[in-house]
Structure 1
Amino acid sequence: MNARATEPAAAGKIADTKLRPVPPPVAANAPKPAVETAAPRKSGAGRILLMAGVPLLLVAGGGWFWLTGGRYEETDNAYVQQAKVSISADVSGRVSDVKVHDNQVVAAGDVLFAIDPQPFEIALSQADAALASARVNVEQLKVSFGTAQAQLKANEQTLAIRQAAYDRKQALVDQGVSADASLDESKLTLQQAQSAVDLARQQVAAATAALAGDPAIATDAHPAVLAALAAVEQAQRNLTHATVTAPAGGVVSNVSSLNVGQFIAAGSMIASLVETDNTWIQANFKETQLAELKVGQPVEIKVDAYGAPMHGTVESFGAATGSEFALIPAQNATGNWVKVVQRLPVRIALSEAADAVLKTGMSAMVTVDTGRSTLDKLAGN
């Protein structure tokens, strides 16, 4: 029974041997297959160094930039500014000639437009005639003064004669030669002579007053003549201002509505003149940026319209923040208050002539070199 039990197993092995594939024969010089080895584990020290080193480098770099920064204060709330003059006529009249057009470049003293001068020429002639008449009147007052003096002198001499006659009559009466009634006529004549002298003195005083209290006054120094001279000067001024000229060099604008034959009133705005000879930058810095800003510090200016930077210096600081010059200033005493950082206008003077390229109102970026970094501030330098 054991033999029968063993035989089938042997037979099964024989069967398995027949079914299993036989490997090919290995050549003598064939390379041996590579033996697989496990990859070594990475060290954790490098990873820790990397994780700690990168933040440290970032912190060190940020600290360095913070300490070395803070030297420059900049704002993009800055604009090119040029003086603007409103052109108007000092006298009323009708426009007779227009010499300029919109955006024309003019120099100081160039004629812009003219008003009909004929009414002012007539007024000047009238003032000249009034002046001549005033001078004649003063001369007549001097003659009157001389006449009053001569009349006073004659009356004083008559009074002396009448007084001598009265004294003789009085002596005869005192001696009893003549009666008292004979003195009445001499006394009346003496009183009339005295009244004539008093009247002449009043006439002299009136003539002196008419000559401003100085009989020897120069004709053109008399108040009436001075008033006439002032009227002549006013008439001459009005005639001169009938021709309107440019008060400064620049560019004329808004003259398209000015036409020949148009009547304009004195003081009414006719055109505008932008003075290109004087250009500056108005930079509105936040109040938190003003601690290190000082007059004379160098400034770099980049106008949005042009790429090349310009240079200048801090010239002055505004007297108040922009909100203080508003038409209706903010009232913070009501309790409904929100703190808003205010801005102060700072005037920047340009170092180079930029009148030809800059136009008023252009936007700019302003950077001021304060000369002190955060490290200098901490060190107290």
Structure 2
Amino acid sequence: MNAPQAPAHSSVAASPAEPVQKPAGNPKRKKALTILASVVVVAGLGWTVYEYLVASHYEATDNAYVQGNVIQITPQMGGTVVAIMADDTDFVKAGQPLVQLDPADAKVALAQAEAALAQAVRQVRTLYANNGSLSAQVALREADVAKANSDIARAADDLKRRQSLTGNGAVSKEELNHTQTQLDNARSALAAAKAGVLAAREQLASNQSLTEGTSVEQHPSVLVAAAKVREAFLTQERTALTAPVDGYVARRTVQLGQRVAAGAPLMSVVPLKQVWVDANFKEVQLRNIRIGQPATLVADVYGKKVKYTGAVAGLGVGTGAAFSLLPAQNATGNWIKVVQRVPVRITLDEKQLAEHPLRIGLSMNAEVNISRQDGTTLADAPRDAAQAHSQAFAEKSDAANDDVQRIIAANLGKTRLAATAALH
């Protein structure tokens, strides 16, 4: 029998443990991340440089709107509307009639004032004419005084002669008394003549005080009547409401036949050649904004293809909330801070406005170049000229003066006209 065999042992010895290999990295991903990081760093540096060199020199806002003068057309007197000569969107010239009120009452008042002026001129002419007649009265009274003196001298001589004859009985006592009476009457006549001279001189002085140092045209009575004519003339002219400036009609509310009161708004005239922009900057943006700095503006209606150039004309003296109808009451328990805005007025170039007209209330984007800091934040000198002026009403005053001169000349008389022409 064979002996049992021993179990066979593996002839292969166990090999030592080998390290686990890590998967190889993705070079493309690493490169992409590196590039992205580089781009972010470069972009950050570029933005920092741009902010320091460019963006920090500008302040911009999209809270900007076109503003302009909205001129209300209001009557200076009440009346009934009989004609309307302009409507919304119409272009009107300065002095052009817009609304006509019924002029009947004004014409009657003007006729009365013209008649009163004519009467005043003739009454003043009478005062000047009375100077001559009163001077003649003074001369006549002075002649009466001379005659009375002569009568006294003659009566005194008669009385003296008769007194010398009373001793021999040549003159009776009755005749002597009669001569004495004549002397007394002559003396009374002298006193009356002197009183007449005094009264005549007082009347002359009184009349001369009404005419001294002035002419018929400049006499106070004539000037008062002339002022009444001018007032009535202007009242009649004001029944026609005219445009004070060139512009476009807006917000017409008046209707034909309407009875309007003085001061009632009938329509508005907007001069679109005189518009500006109110850019409402945040309070933190106002540090470096100065008057006179250049500005660039873009209107939403035209887009970025049209750019307007302007300049800062002034900064508001208060925030919009401070001048609102209901100002904010910040002294309350529940308070939330809100960044305030201040309107900055920016003027526009008239040539650009003519090429691309704007309208009141349009939205604008405003950008102010704040590089120049030599200006001020508040105006330091008063305006040296009128902000707005109209010559549309000057013609009415000239026409009123012409009407007054016509009436005076018609009632002055040929003699007075010749004297006036000789003085001038």
**For the residues of structure 1 that align with 2:353 and 2:56, how far apart are their CA atoms?**
29
Counting aligned pairs with the same residue, the percent is 32
Q: Which residue, 336, 343, 352 being the options, matches 2:341?
A: 343
Name 1:157's counterpart in structure 2: 143
Over 3 Å counting, the alpha-carbon distance change for 1:162 and 1:305 in structure 2 is same
For the structure 1 residues 327 and 181, does the alpha-carbon distance in structure 2 shift closer, same or farther, using more than 3 Å as the test? farther
Instruction: Give the match for residue 70 of structure 2.
Output: 84
1:186 corresponding residue in structure 2: 186
> Counterparts in 2 of 1:247-286, with a 5 A limit?
247-255=244-252, 257-286=253-282
Q: Distance in 1 between matches of 2:130 and 2:334?
A: 81
Per-residue CA distance 1:222-257 (angstroms, 9 max, x = gap):
1111222222222222222222222222221222x4
Letter in 1 for 2:348: L
Partners of 1:365 and 1:238 in 2: CA distance:
47
RMSD of aligned Cα (Å): 3.8
Partner deviation per Cα, 1:269-319 (whole Å, 9 max, x = no partner): 111122212121111223432332233322111223331342222242145
Q: Is the 8 A contact 2:293 2:311 kept in 1?
A: yes
> Unaligned 5+ residue runs, structure 1?
14-35, 374-381
Contact kept, 8 Å, 1:313 with 1:348, in 2: the verdict is: yes
187 and 338 in structure 1: CA distance in 2 versus 1, 3 angstrom threshold = farther
In structure 2, runs of 5+ residues without a counterpart are 11-18, 165-175, 374-424
Aligned to 2:309: 312
Of the three residues 105, 109, 128, the one matched with 1:119 is 105
- Is this contact kept in 2: 1:316–1:347, CA < 8 A? yes
Say which SS state the counterpart of residue 219 (structure 1) adopts: coil
Q: Partner letter of residue 348 of structure 1?
A: I
Aligned equivalents of 2:332 and 2:188: distance in 1?
A: 93
Q: Per the alignment, do residues 170 and 359 of structure 1 end up closer, same or farther by CA in structure 2, a change over 3 Å counting?
A: same
- For residue 61 of structure 1, report the CA deviation from its aligned partner: 4.6
Alpha-carbon spacing, 1:337–1:208, altered in 2? closer, same or farther (3 Å):
farther
Aligned to 2:200: 200
Instruction: Tell me which of 39, 42, 52 is aligned to 1:67.
Output: 52
CA-CA distance at 1:80 after TM superposition: 0.2
Shift of 1:368: 0.6
Shift of 1:150: 0.8
Q: Distance in 2 between matches of 1:40 and 1:97?
A: 97
Rounded to whole Å, the distance in 1 between the matches of 2:224 and 2:75 is 25
Q: Would you tell me which structure has more strand in proportion to its own residues?
A: 1
- The worse-fitting range, judged by mean Cα deviation, of 326-335 and 184-193 is 326-335
Structure 1 equivalent of residue 5 of structure 2: 6
Shift of 1:203: 0.7
C-alpha deviation, 1:123, in angstroms: 2.1
Checking the alignment, whether the CA contact within 8 Å between 1:282 and 1:345 is kept in structure 2 is: yes
Kindly name which structure, 1 or 2, has the bigger radius of gyration based on alpha carbons: 1
Residue type of the alignment partner of 2:119: S
Measure, in 2, the Cα distance between the counterparts of 1:336 and 1:253: 43
Partners of 1:174 and 1:324 lie apart in 2 by: 108
- Structure 1 contact 93–115 (Cα < 8 Å) conserved: yes
